[in-house]
Copies of this chain bind each other. A is one copy, B any other.
Amino acid sequence: MTDLGFVETQRVVLGTEDDPLVLASGRSLTHVEVAYETYGELNAARDNAIFVCHALTGDAHAAGHHGDPARRGWWDNLIGPGKPLDTDRFFVISPNLLGGCQGTTGPLSTDPATGRAYGLDFPLIAMSDFVALHRRLLAHLGVERLLAAVGGSLGGMQVLQWAIEAPEQVGAAVVVASSSRLTAQNIAFSAVAREAIMRDPGFLEGRYAESGEPGPSTGLRIARMMAHITYLSEEAMSEKFGRRLQADAPGQPRPDAPATGMGLGVDFQVESYLAHQGQTFLDRFDALSYLYLTRVMDYFDPFADPDAAARVAAGGTRVLVVSFDTDWRFDTRHSLRILHTLEHARVPVTFREIRSPWGHDSFLLTPPGYHDTIAAFLDRAAEVEGGAA
């Protein structure tokens, strides 16, 4: 097994004034760019393509590196020669999604109608809008039908939406650590994050970028810190940090006596870790994208349409649903709801709950059995579909 080497992010215009991207809301985008990467080669039959959908804060850079081999894409452990998404056999496509901030058109992009950034004038989007743009990218690459679509968390939602909308285009669907319907608690966490961002005085009604101001950095930091708590299992957090104090603190104080180093700031290692997560997030993510993308998740509820699962069955998409036993952001019950709804409609669906200590983040990691499950499912899909380089 080797790694992919240097890869370059590509860009393509997939929506124009003559051919706008019409959204589920009825509004249109007349200039849509997509940033994407591909790994491996499309075969002559054009039937070995696997589409990767990223999660909330992901981007097109799923595998390989951009110059520094130590900084690799977010799913580099899954994608590459000899890996489950085997680039010796499969042609892997990974775009940044609509509304994002890593190269694909989003709220910080220029609104052709005004010549300035959209800000809050960017239209509200839906899961089907992500998929509509993915399908344009697929057409651009000359692929009619996917061997598979694969995604974790919000990525899995896109995969599920795609399988419902156009199952004839998706041979196999891999839906990891995902949900077909957020709970009130899921929505609540996102609501607090949005509140933190929009009430930050730096938000400036969404016009921070053109003002040259740093933007709602406190709000975005808080949003990320809070979200990060939900991405880790309590077990993983205890294992990783416990109640240990920062190295520069004078050690555990007497139980009843504050030590000299005790303060209201960053005393415990877990606080330092979260503060670091919040800080580094500011360099790579935009607050408006955070608002728009979390809202898409809140509203996602594809099985509210009672015919949705039957469409997947009619289209013949085979589905793999994977959950992780310590994931409490989208716990196994979310995956079981997808499983049972699809099963009820006689969709060929396989389910695995993987034991993993790392909570929701497990979908980015390698708990035992996880990658083997995906590899076996994709191998079987390739056999059935006949797709491989």
Contacts and interface: CB of A to CB of B under 8 A. Distances in A.
Contacts of A189: 226, 229
A340 interface: no
A275 interface: yes
A141 to B, nearest CB: 24
B299 A258 contact: yes
Given A182-B243, A264-B295, A257 B24 contact: yes
Contacts of A204: none
Interface stretch (A13-21, A63-71, A76-84, A124-132): A124-132
Interface stretch (A1-9, A166-174, A191-199): A191-199
A216 to B, nearest CB: 10
A292 interface: yes
State how many copies of this chain the complex holds.
2
A271 B185 CA distance: 10
Interface in A304-327: 304-305, 308
A299 B253 contact: yes
Contacts of A187: 243, 268, 270-271
Contacts of A226: 189, 192, 226
Interface stretch (A42-50, A110-118, A233-241): A233-241
Nearest to A24: B257
Contacts of A264: 120, 124, 194, 198, 291-292, 295
Interface of A is mostly: helix
A275 B127 CA distance: 26
A143 interface: no
A302 interface: yes
A252 B304 contact: yes
Contact of A124 (B241, B254, B262): B262
Nearest to A331: B234
Interface string A170-191: 0000000000011111011101
Contacts of A161: 256
Interface string A247-266: 00000111111100011111
A347 interface: no
Nearest to A240: B184
A134 to B, nearest CB: 14
A91 interface: no
A278 to B, nearest CB: 7
Contacts of A237: 183-185, 188
Contacts of A138: none
A353 B252 CA distance: 31
Interface of A: 24-26, 120, 124-128, 161, 165, 181-185, 187-189, 191-192, 194-196, 198-201, 218, 221-222, 225-226, 229, 232, 234, 237-238, 240-243, 252-258, 262-268, 270-271, 274-275, 278, 291-292, 295, 298-305, 308
18 contacts: A25-B257, A127-B256, A181-B243, A182-B243, A184-B237, A185-B232, A185-B237, A185-B238, A189-B226, A191-B266, A195-B222, A222-B222, A252-B301, A252-B304, A255-B299, A255-B303, A262-B295, A267-B298
